[in-house]
A = this chain, B = another copy of it.
């Protein structure tokens, strides 16, 4: 058998991984990597940190851990891969098994034969059809040159005011980067919250923090027009009619898969516009595989196809492609549970699985719990975590978990991702043996406590009410009796100031006369994080009250204004 020709289109994340592993698995193969951009193996998730000045060496985005830039020479010498940059593939000829490409610098054309072809064509930022989008100053963050430009704007200091369109993951990362660079930042988001992988009341905690950093956040608002003079951006006009003057706009309202090449070659395309692949990451043509931001993969919880353009998945998918190309279809890619995490100034925010909103939309009957606690013992310099767990109401299977706070969110979401992938229940997690020592976690890890709270709710022992619901009732003028069971000193420091009554838990058993004497009256208890709130509920129920609820997460999870 003569050496097989493997051609990989795309040189960012998935492409290089597929190419390098294919060559390691079959040293005789001729592996060619065709890359449209001038760079290879860009750490594109790192762009916001380069823009924001976390580091200054541009090459760090392109280099191995030992500092060698991954250019064509590197791929040839270290990986045995023939990488060609500035090389755009224009057509795939499936009958003759060739791809046609053109060098975008020299204009030179070429035709490359393949036995196996891998499409890692990535994604492109959405560009909304809004008047003025062509103005100089309206940008996105997708390619290395975008990162270069935004970094240049940081370094020259010529931009004062910036509007970020879109409050998703990339929008928020860019928001932080530019704010840290000294710009005045506005974020405009169509929906009622930032970071839609979080439920509303959790996202509001992030929004509160973002605002505390001097950022102006416009939710439930959109851009109706980009305003300019002489082709240069001067501001944006919002849907509510207001105008925000600015020198720079970064549009980050998501990405769309680059599937045109595949579509033109007659490959099957999915409902999200991504390339359809089977569990082996093989397209509708058995000689062609695909991986990364250009494909659709299954959601492991719903079983439905999803579009999940994450850098980590791109790498894992590409590894599966290489295995299947070289070793036969031995490897399966099971899909995504939508695990994600991001840094938002002093907070981290992460999630995995389904939010409550999403789970309900998918037809699940759910029970949820919110938990606010420190991430480790107070004496170890602990920080706050606020989490929400979503479980199937019948089985207790954990469908999703979200966590925000200045504390150790990273471990929590990683634990939860493992849980969701394994289909564990709240009962499994309630007795999980996790690593514990005071510098690292609480004796009962925050994630486990969240499962315990959910267990209490599912069993009907704890009746919870969300802070959003409490706030709505207050605003409607139908507030229940709200009982703060914290200590007077805590009350002095910070309080809701919504008409609540303070009765510290320790005195509650002797202060029952201060409560509504109608035993069916609705009472909502809370404390700092709502452990004492739950104790209070149990005490009141033991004394005959029948309609007592705990406001979950206590005052620490309250996303609205508090009084100091």
Contact = CB atoms under 8 A, between A and B. Distances in A.
A542 B27 CA distance: 6
A312 B433 contact: yes
Nearest to A48: B438
Interface string A64-85: 0111100001100111100000
Given A408-B410, A414-B434, A443 B65 contact: no
Contacts of A348: 439-440
A505 B378 CA distance: 49
B438 A46 contact: yes
Oligomer: number of copies:
2
B529 A65 contact: yes
Given A46-B380, A65-B378, A311-B436, A509 B80 contact: yes
Interface string A167-185: 0000001000000000000
Interface residues of A, number: 107
Nearest to A26: B542
A245 interface: no
A507 interface: yes
A62 to B, nearest CB: 10
Interface stretch (A216-224, A359-367, A444-452, A517-525): A444-452
A350 B435 contact: yes
A378 B60 contact: yes
A518 B91 CA distance: 48
Interface string A25-60: 101100000000000000101100110001101001
Contacts of A433: 300, 310, 312-313, 316, 335-339, 352, 417, 421
Contact of A414 (B333, B374, B435): B435
Chain B CB count within 10 A is highest, among A50, A414, A433, A437, for A433
A134 interface: no
Contact of A418 (B408, B418, B507): B418
A490 interface: yes
A417 B432 contact: yes
A498 to B, nearest CB: 21
Closest 4 CB pairs of A and B: A27-B542, A77-B506, A418-B418, A341-B435
